[in-house]
Structure formats: structure tokens, C-alpha cells
Structure 1
């Protein structure tokens, strides 16, 4: 993957083999895994994910990619952005950040949206979150996403039925927000 984005406090780049221990560590935290598809996360899972991503060129349609969030001052991996290229015009994103750095999630998403809308010229970006994940819901709304759906008991997740919110933003929405 050849991607390198910067903001005032972050560098966003391809996940590298040297990131995988830290990547697995914060993803294994119960508070991080709570609303994610995993319950526990191991270094071996991180290696498998990295290997599967390295088989595809970044932005290949139909694939998910994880981008490393690096704190610029410390060069520490603090989280990751998930990017799924649904089709030629639509992208789904997700964000996972170590608890002590969650205040940087908004900056990370802004930087990614600039790239997706202004550089890659995508039309629509979506994000899906567990309806109980109030922190993510607030984050997406603060960034400027609009809630488009509330699916009730639509996913059997970690042994129980769960509900999800779908958020979306169009390139025209982003253009208005950036003015």
C-alpha cells in the first residue's frame, strides 16, 4: 500500500510489520473489543490480517484495508482506520483507537475524508456502528455524518442480537462542511 497522509498530530500510513505487536495489544483491550467483531485479538490475527491486506493494492474494490494512526510526536501506533472500497464511488470506514488516544479519532477521520473526497474523488462514505456505542455515534455526528438507518436486532453478535446505526456523508456534504 502506498498511502501517507498527515495532520497536525497524526501520520496515517499503511500498516507495517513493525506495527503488529502494538496493533494486537490495543485491539485486545476489552474496552476496545467491546463493539468490534472480535472478543480477543492476538498477534497471530494481526499477522494474518497484514498478510491478507498485502495481497491487494490499496483501494482495490471489494477489499478492506487497515491504515496505521501514528502520533507524530512519539511515532507511536495509537490506532487504525479501516477502509472498505465498496465500489468505484463508495467507501465504508471504521476507526479503532487505543483508549488513551481516542481524542485524536476526529482528526484522523477528517484527514481520511479529505483524502477520500478530495484526492480519490469518492461520492459517498459510510460508517456502521453498534447502536449501543454512544461514543462512536457522537464522534460520527460531530464529524458531520448523517444517520441514515437504525437497524433493530439485525445482527447476531457475540451471542446476542444487536442493533446498528448506519451513517453516511456525500462529497457535497464534505465540501459544505469544509467551507
Structure 2
């Protein structure tokens, strides 16, 4: 599976991509709001191998794609969705190498995956969550046209403390309305 935008290629991971994923997975600032700890090289490889195996399931429920810059062929992050076919919804996530923050790559990649979710998978709802302290993440969600549905207080225990969560979502008809307004 490949998706393309003006600046990015979203593609399936390859086993040797762990070298690039570990560049951001070993960075404390990048991993600050993630549920997992900073990863070692072996942990990055193990995670990637697990994702590659899960992507083979039928029907496919995991779409975890490498974000690659077209100009340099550099892998700079990942964007993914876990699909619940029965509920016709998916949870969206993204993570990017800190060197490439604030350049619009995350929202560009996430928008392409959301388009795939609504157009190809015929999802009704795509949602995402983040720690309210992660301003960059919820700004991406807002840029994608998602609306905040909830602010859960201390609903998840991460890295030794209780954390809040923002929940953002977009429905299929809201997404289509946004496309119409852009025309």
C-alpha cells in the first residue's frame, strides 16, 4: 500500500526501516507524550516486526505507514490507523522525527490517511487522542478539521502518573463537507 501527497510518500514499512524509526523513538522529547518509553534499537526493530505481522491479517485492521520525504527519500516518521470494521471507525496516530516538526508534514500525512479511511475503507468516524499538554498534536487534529469531543481527566496511567486525554474526531459527512468548502 502506498499513498502520495505533494511532498510525501506514505508506504509500508520494511524491516530495515527500524534504523530510521529508532532515530525518533530513542528521543525523549519525541516520546514524551507517547504511551511507550524511549525505545532501544532492539525495541524499535521488535515493534516494527510486530506491525509488519499484524498488517498481514485479513481483514486488515492495522495501517501503520512510514512517512517518507519525496525529495530525499528520508523516512521521517509514521502515521497509522487501527480500524474497527464492525464500528466503521478507526483511531488515528502519528509521530515524527523532531527535526521535521512544524513543517506541516504530520497534518499532510494524516490527511492522506484519513482520505484513504473515508474513501477506500468507507469509515464513518476517525478519532484520535492526545495529552492536553501536547499542543502540537491537538493542533494537528484541529488542522485536520477534527473537533474536540471530550476532555477526560486522569483517565490513563502513563510513565508513572495519571494523565488527561483530549479526544478529537471527524465523521464521514463532516469530512465531505470540508472537501466541498475547499472547492
Q: Same fold (TM over 0.5)?
A: yes
Q: Whole-Å Cα distance in 2 between the matches of residues 82 and 61 of structure 1?
A: 16
Q: Whole-Å Cα distance in 1 between the matches of residues 168 and 58 of structure 2?
A: 23
CA deviations 1:102-127 (Å, max 9, x no partner) are 22111111111111111211111010
Q: How much has 1:39 moved relative to structure 2?
A: 2.5
Contact preservation (8 Å) 1:117, 1:123: yes
Instruction: Report the RMSD for the aligned CA atoms in angstroms.
Output: 1.7
Contact preservation (8 Å) 2:15, 2:49: no
Q: How much has 1:51 moved relative to structure 2?
A: 2.1
Q: How much has 1:153 moved relative to structure 2?
A: 0.8
- The TM-score with structure 1 as length reference comes to 0.92
Contact preservation (8 Å) 2:23, 2:97: no
Moved over 2 A (4+): 53-66
- Match for 1:81 among 76, 79, 82? 79
Q: How much has 1:130 moved relative to structure 2?
A: 0.7
- Match for 1:48 among 46, 49, 58? 46
Q: Secondary structure at the match of 1:55?
A: helix
For residues 4-15 of structure 1, the aligned pairs below 5 Å read 4-15=2-13
Contact preservation (8 Å) 2:31, 2:37: yes
Q: Whole-Å Cα distance in 1 between the matches of residues 55 and 130 of structure 2?
A: 26
For residues 12-161 of structure 1, the aligned pairs below 5 Å read 12-57=10-55, 64-88=62-86, 89-102=88-101, 103=103, 104-161=105-162
Q: Whole-Å Cα distance in 1 between the matches of residues 38 and 55 of structure 2?
A: 28
Contact preservation (8 Å) 2:55, 2:62: no
Q: Secondary structure at the match of 2:79?
A: strand
Q: Whole-Å Cα distance in 1 between the matches of residues 52 and 28 of structure 2?
A: 27
- The TM-score with structure 2 as length reference comes to 0.90
Contact preservation (8 Å) 2:61, 2:85: no
Where structure 1 has 5 or more consecutive residues not aligned to the other structure, the ranges are none
Q: How much has 1:10 moved relative to structure 2?
A: 0.3
Q: How much has 1:176 moved relative to structure 2?
A: 0.8
Q: Secondary structure at the match of 1:51?
A: helix
Where structure 2 has 5 or more consecutive residues not aligned to the other structure, the ranges are none
Q: Whole-Å Cα distance in 2 between the matches of residues 94 and 31 of structure 1?
A: 17
Q: How much has 1:56 moved relative to structure 2?
A: 3.2
